[in-house]
Chains A and B, each alone.
Chain A
Amino acid sequence: MGEAKHTEYRGSIHQRQKELMLKWYECLNQAAETGTPPAVSLMISGNCVELLEAFGAVPIYPEVNALQLAIRHQSLEPILAAEDIGYAPDNCAYVKADIGCYLKGITPTGGKLPKPDLVLCNFVGCNTYVKWFEHTAVLTGSKLYVLDVPFLREQDPGQADIDYVVRQLKELVALLEQITGRKFDYDRFVEAVRCSAQVEELWSQIKHLARRSPSPFDAYFDAITLMGPLYVYRGTQEGVEFFSAALEEMQAKVASGQGVYDQEKFRLVIEGPPPYPYFRTFRDMFAKWKACTVASTYSTVGGLWEFGARHDPDHPFESVALHMLAQNVTNRNYLQRYEQIRRYLEEWNADGLIIHFVKSCRLFSAGQGDMRDYVTKTLGIPTLYIESDLEDPRYFAEAQTRNRVDAFFEALEHSKLTANAV
């Protein structure tokens, strides 16, 4: 094959995305300097950002901060600072980067991050979340509330699960009223839920465009670009406008037959978070083969909407609870992820599955060998299994990863040629 192709989606929404994320960081800076708006630490997965909207509070997402550092090649210094105070080499590096930043006063943009008025651990599936936010609360001296979301151990959440989460959401409302001194604005809450439902519909439509061939965007690498606004602005009119513009741009690309590459040679599903410290390098390994990702599990961490679920303004608390319980990949059980991947492979018409094992995240990675066994043997779809990390640059073996990626596509190309010959 020839030289690596540097290809990524760069439309006007790319620029708009940057502006929105900068605006969020400015808002956090303002909260740090003036104490307004109230700031609440929150996890990405299955978050309840609509509730914060009802208080005019801004979310602090440590995961977004951590990935921003990694993508800018600045994560190692805070990771080492955290290891200096006792964190293990095998602890989640997202946590270490975040804690290390706190210890060293580092922020992704150089602006200030506020002391959280509340550390709100939305515990959805990831046990590391509980530990992480417990440590954050100790370090910052902020109050901690763990919103315990029962894991989806059966196909659908039971009524007891929904009741349990709704009761906690209402306890949280009372706690936020007490902490912020602001009254819960129910109408604003319903409006936020309505905006979320619209954003989810738009995002879902965008994802379904990737079923076309060629796909107008890469549903892993480009989807990650769109995920920032998805988390921060989901419950706002700005979010609706952003995703409306994004859908329009993607539809225009579909109408003109424009794909990610001049020719889409392979269609992939990717499982697992990306290696953020080598994001560009990793992307280029696939660009070289004109391999476009058409669906990814990582882009459903914040919410899984392409199969129809939406927030519901007529049942705001229940639908927030259902979102936390059932509509994000992290709180769904492992076999449900297999099923999600199966649907992607079949309905998005993919040639293969890339499994990226990240050592930091056992939620994603523990058992991916079994997942590979299922996809290869039961579904008969080719898979590539590679290992590195999402935050710690020390675990990315570039040459070895490149060799494995190349070998995978060589084999895939060969099997396509053979199949065509028959």
Chain B
Amino acid sequence: MLTFERTFEQCQDLIADLSFGPVHRWKEQHPDSRVIGYFPVYAPVEIIHAAGMLPVGLSGGGDRLDIQHADARFGSFICSIVKTTMEMGMRDHLKVFDGVLFSSICDSARNLCFVMKRNFPDLYVDFLHLPHNPSSTASVEFLASEYHRLIKGLERIGDKLVTENGLQQAIALYNRNRQLIRSLYTFRAQKPHLLQAWESYVLMRAGHFMPVEKHNSLLEESLEQLSQRSGKPRDSIRVVVEGAFCEQPPLDLIKLVEDAGCYIVDDDFVIGRSWFVEDVPVDGDPVFALADSYVNRAVYSSVRHDFRAPRWEGLADKVKRSRADAVLFLIAKFCEPAYFDYVLFKKKLEELRVPHMLLEFEEKQFTFDRVRTEVETFVESLVFD
């Protein structure tokens, strides 16, 4: 069991490492290969992998980066992750990256993409338009062409052509990765006393910084060890956490929610790592398969619009499936997609009589006394209801 605890510590260290140590080490071992960072929420990592490059998930600077320069570039009322990502660039934390990829999630992130393009001219910076009209018969075809555009861009800066076979292999590897993450979530929903949310979170997010093959091994070993874990159930309510899909809350905040009497039985932390509800087909045209999966078989998210299946129905299903007692909205300050969705999510939950609570956070937040009191009061109100 000692090894297992150490794994969590190591993953926690990985997340906290703003110098991207493991990525530097990977590059030393693969001097001719490229590293591509991707801004949340989703990126077609399979394509980056098939180009012989290492996809690295960016999640801002957390609570370990003072903003010295980026405030002057982005001003007030803009979320922290946009500023800390810019700050990391301005303070050379992103030197290990050859490129950074953005997508159509919100206006602030999109503008960041082009501000970075101007400020870091040596960096390959690209923006993917992920479609917002899945009901159109043209959407899959458009997205496939967008992915082909990305492939050409990566081939220009890399030393390897992307092949159909390479893409299919990458899809299989990432399918496995998503299966393992789904298993982790299923385990946690069934036995939350044996796996805390912060633990599965660090395991999952560690995958941002290592090759998928290595992350698959880590997850497989962890699931194996989990099956041997024992413990007593706590007297906690079951909650779904919603709203932290882009900027990530401080780890201490996730721990606090659990310590204050909640089992987090499902969440949308770094949701891009478990983006599809089923495997991406490995046979047939792989670019089409990725595009079709995005349009037709992706999870609901505040940054993906599918009017055939409203997101509030997705949340309602999640609550039901995970047998949650309540929903905790954990929304990053100034995150407009989450703010907007909160209104319709709230409406749906009230129709279903599911209790909910809203907490705003910033990644660099470090005092939690008020939040603790709020969560404890919320839990008490449910327990003694």
Chains A and B come from one and the same complex: yes
Chain A residues with CB under 8 Å of chain B are 85-88, 90-92, 95, 123, 125-128, 130-132, 134-135, 138, 144-148, 150-151, 153, 158, 160-161, 163-164, 167-168, 171, 333-335, 338, 357, 359, 361-363, 365-370, 373-374, 385, 387
Nearest residue, chain A, Cβ from B341: A131
At the interface, yes or no: B344 with Cβ under 8 Å from chain A?
yes
Summed over the interface, the residue pairs from A and B with CB atoms below 8 Å come to a total of 160
- Residue in B closest to A365 when the chains form the complex, CB atoms: B75
Q: A138-B344, A171-B138, A335-B117 are in contact. List 7 more A-B contacts (CB 8 A).
A: A91-B336, A95-B340, A132-B340, A334-B111, A363-B107, A367-B74, A368-B75
Chain A residues within an 8 Å CB radius of B337: 127, 131
Are A146's CB and B133's CB within 8 A? yes
CB pair A148 B131 closer than 8 Å: yes
Q: How close is A210's CB to chain B, nearest CB, in angstroms? A: 27
A-chain residues with CB within 8 Å of residue B133 when the two chains form the complex: 123, 145-148, 168
Residue of B71, B104, B305, B343 near A87 (CB, 8 A) is B343
> What is the CB-to-nearest-CB distance from B154 to chain A, in angstroms, rounded to a whole number?
15
Query: Contacts A130-B305, A160-B142 hold; do A90 and B334 have CB atoms under 8 A apart?
Result: yes
On chain A, the residues within 8 Å of B342 by CB distance are 86, 88
Q: Which residues of A contact B246 (CB under 8 A)?
A: none
State which residues 29-59 of B face A: CB under 8 Å: none
Contact at A365–B77, with CB atoms within 8 Å? yes
Kindly state whether residue B76 has any CB partner on chain A within 8 Å: yes
Name 30 A/B residue pairs within 8 A (Cβ), A-sorted. Answer: A86-B342, A88-B342, A90-B333, A127-B337, A131-B341, A145-B135, A146-B135, A146-B305, A148-B133, A148-B139, A158-B145, A164-B131, A164-B142, A167-B136, A334-B110, A334-B111, A335-B118, A362-B78, A362-B106, A362-B107, A363-B107, A366-B82, A366-B108, A366-B112, A367-B112, A367-B114, A369-B71, A369-B72, A369-B73, A370-B74
Closest chain A CB from B7 CB (angstroms): 38
Q: In angstroms, how far is the closest chain B Cβ from the Cβ of A207?
A: 25
* Contact call A374/B343, Cβ cutoff below 8 A: no
Q: Which residues of A contact B131 (CB under 8 A)?
A: 148, 164
Bound-state Cα–Cα, A369 to B75, Å: 6
**Would B344 and A135 count as touching, CB distance under 8 A?**
yes
- With both beta carbons as reference points, the residue of chain B lying nearest to A89 in the complex is identified as B339
Q: Are A134 and B127 in contact (CB under 8 A)?
A: no
How far in angstroms is the closest Cβ of chain A from B25?
Answer: 32
Report B275-291 CB contacts with A as 1/0, cut-off 8 Å.
00000000000000000
> In whole angstroms, how far apart are the Cα atoms of A11 and B332 in the complex?
49
B111 to chain A, nearest CB (A): 4
A344 to chain B, nearest CB (A): 18
Given A130-B132, A131-B337, also A167-B76 (CB < 8 A): no
A146 touches B132 (CB 8 A): yes
Contacts of A160 in B (CB 8 A): 141-142, 145-146, 149
| Alpha-carbon separation in the docked complex, A351 to B126 (Å) | 34
Flag if B77 contacts A359 (CB, 8 Å): yes
- How far, in Å, is A369 (CB) from chain B's closest CB? 4
Report if B167 contacts A (CB, 8 A).
no
- Which residues of B (110-135) have their CB < 8 Å from a CB of A? 110-115, 117-119, 126-129, 131-133, 135
* Minimum distance in angstroms from B334 CB to a CB of chain A: 5
Smallest CB–CB gap between B100 and chain A, Å? Answer: 13
Contacts of A362 in B (CB 8 A): 77-78, 106-108, 111, 336
Minimum CB–CB distance from A254 to chain B (whole Å) comes to 37
CB of B137 within 8 Å of the partner chain = yes
Which of A130, A153, A368 is in CB contact (< 8 Å) with B126? A153
The distance in angstroms between the C-alpha atoms of A198 and B127, with both chains bound, is 34
Residues of B with C-beta under 8 A to A145: 133, 135
- Interface 0/1 of B317-333, CB less than 8 Å to A: 00000000000000001
Residue of B nearest to A369 (CB): B73
A90 to B358, CA, bound (A): 15
CA distance in complex: A334, B102 (Å):
14
Contacts of B264 in A (CB 8 A): none
Across-interface contacts of B265 in A (CB, < 8 A)? none
Q: For the complex, is B307 an interface residue (Cβ under 8 Å from A)?
A: yes
User: Is the Cβ of B106 less than 8 Å from the Cβ of A127?
Assistant: yes
Q: Does B254 contact A (CB under 8 A)?
A: no
In the complex, A167 Cα to B139 Cα: how many Å? Answer: 10
Across the two chains, which residue of chain A brings its CB closest to B149? A158
A128 touches B344 (CB 8 A): no
Residues of chain A within 8 A (CB-CB) of B114 are 333-335, 367
- Say yes or no: B137 contacts A171, CB within 8 Å: yes
B257 interface residue (CB < 8 Å to A): no
- Say if the beta carbon of B171 comes within 8 Å of chain A: no
B88 interface contact, C-beta 8 A: no
User: Is A153 within 8 A of B336, CB to CB?
Assistant: no
Q: Does B346 contact A (CB under 8 A)?
A: yes
A338 to B341, CA, bound (A): 32
Contact present for A91 and B340 (CB under 8 Å): yes
State A87–B108 Cα separation when bound (angstroms): 19
Q: How far is the CB of A56 from chain B (nearest CB, A)?
A: 25
Bound together, the chains give a CA A148 to CA B129 distance in angstroms of: 10
A365 to B133, CA, bound (A): 26
Among B73, B74, B137, B336, the residue within 8 A (CB) of A92 is B336
User: Whole-angstrom distance from the CB of B150 to the nearest CB of chain A?
Assistant: 11
Q: Which residues from B are CB-within-8-Å of A373?
A: 72-73
Contact present for B74 and A369 (CB under 8 Å): yes
How far apart are B276's CB and chain A's nearest CB, in angstroms?
A: 20
Q: Which residue of B lies closest to A368 (CB)?
A: B75
> Measured between C-beta atoms, what is the minimum distance from B140 to chain A in Å?
11
**Chain B residue contacts of A125, Cβ below 8 A:** 107, 110
B149 touches A123 (CB 8 A): no
Tell whether, in the assembled complex, residue A148 and residue B136 are in contact, meaning their CB atoms are under 8 Å apart.
yes
For the complex, what is the distance from the CA of A135 to the CA of B307, rounded to whole Å? 12
Q: Is B14 an interface residue (CB 8 A)?
A: no
In the assembled complex, B212 has its CB within 8 A of some CB on chain A? no
Known: A123-B132, A146-B305, A167-B138. A366 touches B74 (CB 8 A): yes
Partner of A370, one of B119, B136, B146, B341: B119
Cα distance, A408 to B303, chains bound together (Å): 40
Instruction: Judge whether B104 and A90 touch: CB under 8 Å.
Output: no
